[in-house]
Structure 1
C-alpha cells in the first residue's frame, strides 16, 4: 500500500528535511548518530562524514539524545548549552511498532539572541492583541451607575427607583424622554445593576445610521453579501451583545421595514446575517429609548403596534430639566466635576447670578444643553468663577422659561465687563457649536431636521456633531 512517501524520489528527502528543519539529528537506541544534516554540522564545526556513526554525546556537547532514546520521554523547548552559548532544542523518541528505536533532535533557535528576537516579535503581537482586546472590552462596558444619575426632585426619583427595581429583570425596557434628558445614562445604569453587568453593553443609535446600512449593522453580513463587504463577513450588534444588553437609542426613527425584521429577531431569538442562510441564536436584553410619542406613531401607522408592545414591557418616563429645576444646582455641580477632569482644572464655581439665570432658562436641550453651556463657559474662563458674560449669548440676553427677553440695559454687569477676545478659529467653532445646539433644541434632538434648518448636508452635520462632542 502506498503511504505517500514512496511517491517522493529518495534524492528529494535530504532537501525536504533541510527545508522542514534547518538543524536535525537522528540517533539509534544506543545514541549512535544515524543521520545529521549539513546545517547542523556547520553549526557544530564538523562535517557529516566525521559525525555519522559516532556516539551523539561525542559530537554534540551536552547532548541528551541518547537519554531520550532510552527513556522514550520527549523534551520540548529545552535549553541546551553548546559552544559557550545556549540554544533551544526539541528531542523526540522514535517509536516503530510500539518499540523505541531511536531519537530525533531539532534545533529551534541557534542562540538566546535568536530566541529573544523571536520572543520580541511575538511579544509585540501579544501586546497589540491585548491592547485591542482591552479597547473592545472597554467600549462594550457600560460606563454609568445609578449613583451617576443626579437629582432629588420627586418626578426624577420615581423614574430612578423604578429603573433600579426592574434592572435585575430580563424584560424589555422603554425609556421615554426628551433629547438630552439622560436616557442613555439610565440604560447604562440598568445594565450595570443587572445580572448581565459583566457581559457586553452595546449601544446603537437608530437615527444616525443610514437606512440601507442599519440591517447589516444590527444583524451582520456574510462574506460577499454586497459590494465592499468585508472579507470573511462581519458580526452584527445583536451577535456582539449576545448574553448582554443591546441599547437601541432613538427607536422611533427606525424605518418600518426594519421594525418588522427587529420584531422577528425579538420573537425568534435568532438573527440571520445579510446574505446568509443560517440562523444564529442570540440572547440579549433590549433597552429602547425615544423622544417621540410612539403611541401616536402607532395610531398613525408609522410604528408597528406589535413591536411597540414587545418593547413597552416596562416603560420609564424621564422628566425634562424644566420639570425638575430644583435639580439644576446639583446637576451643575456634578457636571463641573466631570468637566474639571476634562480640562485639568479644579475648584470651578458658578456665581449666584449665573445660577439664577440657569434656573430661569427653559432648557429645550435638557442636561445635554446644560453641559454644553458649562463647557463653553470653562473654555473662556480665566479665573475660578463662571460669571454671566461667560455664558452663551442667548443666555446672556436672559431668555426666560416663558420665552421673554430681558432688556440688555437692565444687565449693568454685562456692560461693565467685556468678554475676553478669542482666536478667530475658536470663536467660529463656538458659534458653530451653539448654532448646532440651538437647532437640535428646536427640533427636539432630530439631527436630520436640524441639518435642514442649518442648510447643511446630513453627513457634514454628523461630522460637526462628532467634532464638538455633541451626542
Structure 2
C-alpha cells in the first residue's frame, strides 16, 4: 500500500468536507487521518493500492466548488510537531520522561533510554513503576501535584545498577486538573564528572565506578571497602596503569573522611626541592621566588581528608625523612619555618616499584617502608583478570566516545576475544590509549578484529588465560608437558605451533632447555617469534605485502608494520 499526505486549500462552505470524503470513497482510497484549520486548509493522509488511483482523485477534487489548490506534503502537521518535539527532547543532556494521567509513559527521550538501558519502543506505554521500579516519586506527583527535586535513586536493570538523580513536575491543564507529569533524570556518574570539572581536588570516584566481574577484583574491592572505614595508612601496589589513583579515590569516598578533601600528587613528577615545598609548604622568604606570606603545603590543604602519594618509591632520602616524621608525629614544619603544625590526614601511598628490594639496597628507608606498609593492597594487572576486559573496554569506549562527541560503538565477539588474549603490559592505560586511537580513526558502529589489527598494536592471535604451557597448547595447537611433568621428563620439553589452515604451510617448534623449564620466556616474546616466522614463510612465496595480507587475513598496512617491527629482510 502507498501512503500520501495531501493539502487541500479551499473556500469554506457547507458540505465541502462531506463531498471530499465522497471523492475518496469513489476512488477507493483509504483515509488514515484528517486535520483542518482556516489557515492551513485541510490535510488528508490516505493510502491506496497503486499510484494510478491518485490522479483521478485529484481530478475529482478539483471539480468541487470552493477548491483552490491541491498539493502534496511529506508529513501531517501533527507528525511535524511530534518530530520537532522529539528533536527538542533529544537535544538536551538530561533524560526526560512524561507520563499520562494513568501513570503510563507517553514520552521518553534518547538520554533517558540510555540511562535506563531500554529502547523507546519498550518504554512507551509502560507503567511508571515498571521503568522506575517500586514507589516511583512521579506517581506521587501525579496523585498530589507536588513537585520533587534531585532525589537520588538506585534501581537494578538486569545485572546492572542504574544510579541517577530525578526531579519531577505535574502537568496541569487550564482547568487546574492534573493530566500528567514530567520527570527529568540525570545519570549519577555524569553529575560526578561535572562536579569534578569544577573542583579537581575531588575526583568523586567510588567503588561503583570500578567495573569488574573477576574473582580477584571482587576480593580486592571487598577488602578495600572494609579498609576504607578505618584511618590506617594504605599502600597500593601494582603495575603502572592498573588504576591505583582510582582505588585511592574510591577508598576516600567510602571512608568517614569523604566530606574532606582528596588531594593527589605524583611524587615522580616534581624535583626534590619543589616536591618538598609542595608537600610541606613554605614560609615567606624561605627561598628566592617564594610567595609573599608563604604557602600552605598539601598536608595542610588535605587536613581532615586524604592525601594520595603516587609513585612513593621515587622520593629522595631527604623527603623520606620528613615524610617519616609526619607519619610518626602527625605534625609538619613548613620549609623555612620553625613552628610545628598539627595535621589530621590519612595517607594512601602507591608504587609499582619493589620497595622490599629497595630497602635491601638502602635506597628506601626501612622504617618508612613499615610506616607505609600498614595495609598493603595489590591491584592485579589486566592479564590476571581477563574476565574484566570486556566490561573495562566497553566502559572506556563509552568514556572516549563522550570525549570525542561520537556515538558509542560496540565490540564484536571476535574483537572481545582478541582483546582478552593480549598481555597488556601497560594495563588499563594501554587499553584506553589503543581504544582512543581506534575511535579517532574508525567510523563504524561495531569494531571488528581487522580494525584492531590495522590501527593498534594488537597481535593477530587471540589468546586465553595466563601464560601457562597448557593454555599455549590450547590456542596454538601444540603439545607440551606441564611444569610438574616436564621436571621428570628425559628430554627437554618443547612447545610446537602448527598452522591450522586447511593446507598447512608452517610448523614451528620452540625447544626449551632443562634450565628453562621453570623460566618460560614472556608470552609476548613467544607470540612475536611465531608472528615473525609466519611472515617470513609467507613472504618467501608472496613478495607483495598486499598478497601476504590476503593470505594471513590482515591488511597490507599490518603486514608492513610487522615487517618493520621484526626487521624482516625482504
Partner of 1:207: helix, strand, or coil?
A: helix
Deviations 1:142-165 (A, max 9, x none): 321101111121111111111001
How far the C-alpha of 1:299 sits from its partner, in A, is 1.7
How far the C-alpha of 1:382 sits from its partner, in A, is 1.3
**Pick from 457, 465, 487: which aligns with 1:394?**
457
* 1:230 counterpart = 2:286: no
Query: Corresponding residue for 2:416?
Result: 355
**Pick from 344, 359, 369: which aligns with 1:298?**
359
CA distance in 1, matches of 2:301, 2:241: 26
**Pick from 204, 213, 222: which aligns with 1:152?**
213
How far the C-alpha of 1:389 sits from its partner, in A, is 4.3
Query: Corresponding residue for 1:465?
Result: none
CA distance in 2, matches of 1:198, 1:137: 16
Partner of 1:394: helix, strand, or coil?
A: coil
CA distance in 2, matches of 1:278, 1:158: 44
Query: Corresponding residue for 1:330?
Result: 391
The structure-2 alpha-carbon separation of the partners of 1:280 and 1:371, relative to structure 1 and needing over 3 Å to count, comes to same
* 1:243 counterpart = 2:322: no
Q: Which runs of 5+ in 2 are unaligned?
A: 1-194, 468-522, 539-547, 566-570
How far the C-alpha of 1:388 sits from its partner, in A, is 3.4
CA distance in 2, matches of 1:295, 1:253: 14
Deviations 1:399-426 (A, max 9, x none): 9661213346686498676779xxxxxx
Query: Corresponding residue for 1:166?
Result: 227
In 2, are the aligned partners of 1:351 and 1:386 still within 8 Å (CA)? yes
In 1, are the aligned partners of 2:267 and 2:309 still within 8 Å (CA)? yes
CA distance in 2, matches of 1:412, 1:351: 21
How far the C-alpha of 1:344 sits from its partner, in A, is 1.7
Query: Corresponding residue for 1:264?
Result: 325
Partner of 1:139: helix, strand, or coil?
A: coil
In 2, are the aligned partners of 1:389 and 1:396 still within 8 Å (CA)? no
How far the C-alpha of 1:359 sits from its partner, in A, is 1.6
Deviations 1:281-307 (A, max 9, x none): 111000000111111211221111111
* 1:384 counterpart = 2:445: yes
How far the C-alpha of 1:387 sits from its partner, in A, is 2.9
CA distance in 1, matches of 2:438, 2:356: 39
In 1, are the aligned partners of 2:420 and 2:462 still within 8 Å (CA)? no
CA distance in 2, matches of 1:252, 1:356: 36
In 1, are the aligned partners of 2:235 and 2:372 still within 8 Å (CA)? yes
Deviations 1:76-116 (A, max 9, x none): xxxxxxxxxxxxxxxxxxxxxxxxxxxxxxxxxxxxxxxxx
CA distance in 2, matches of 1:273, 1:244: 19
* 1:288 counterpart = 2:378: no
Within 5 Å, which residues of 2 pair with 1:40-55? none
In 2, are the aligned partners of 1:252 and 1:290 still within 8 Å (CA)? yes
The structure-2 alpha-carbon separation of the partners of 1:342 and 1:419, relative to structure 1 and needing over 3 Å to count, comes to farther
Partner of 1:235: helix, strand, or coil?
A: coil
In 1, are the aligned partners of 2:417 and 2:462 still within 8 Å (CA)? no
Normalization by structure 2: what TM-score?
0.48
Normalization by structure 1: what TM-score?
0.57
Query: Corresponding residue for 2:334?
Result: 273
Query: Corresponding residue for 1:207?
Result: 268
Normalized per residue, the structure richer in strand is 2
In 2, are the aligned partners of 1:389 and 1:418 still within 8 Å (CA)? no
CA distance in 1, matches of 2:206, 2:196: 20
Deviations 1:178-200 (A, max 9, x none): 00111111000000001110110
CA distance in 1, matches of 2:551, 2:439: 19
Partner of 1:191: helix, strand, or coil?
A: helix
CA distance in 2, matches of 1:326, 1:281: 46
In 1, are the aligned partners of 2:450 and 2:554 still within 8 Å (CA)? no
Q: RMSD between aligned alpha carbons?
A: 2.6
CA distance in 1, matches of 2:373, 2:386: 28
The structure-2 alpha-carbon separation of the partners of 1:397 and 1:273, relative to structure 1 and needing over 3 Å to count, comes to same
In 2, are the aligned partners of 1:298 and 1:305 still within 8 Å (CA)? yes
CA distance in 1, matches of 2:238, 2:209: 18
Deviations 1:36-61 (A, max 9, x none): xxxxxxxxxxxxxxxxxxxxxxxxxx
Q: Which runs of 5+ in 1 are unaligned?
A: 1-133, 421-430, 432-437, 439-471
The structure-2 alpha-carbon separation of the partners of 1:208 and 1:398, relative to structure 1 and needing over 3 Å to count, comes to farther
In 2, are the aligned partners of 1:236 and 1:273 still within 8 Å (CA)? yes
CA distance in 2, matches of 1:140, 1:416: 46
How far the C-alpha of 1:397 sits from its partner, in A, is 5.3
Deviations 1:200-255 (A, max 9, x none): 00001111111121110100111111111122211111011011000000111111
User: Aligned pairs, how many?
Assistant: 289
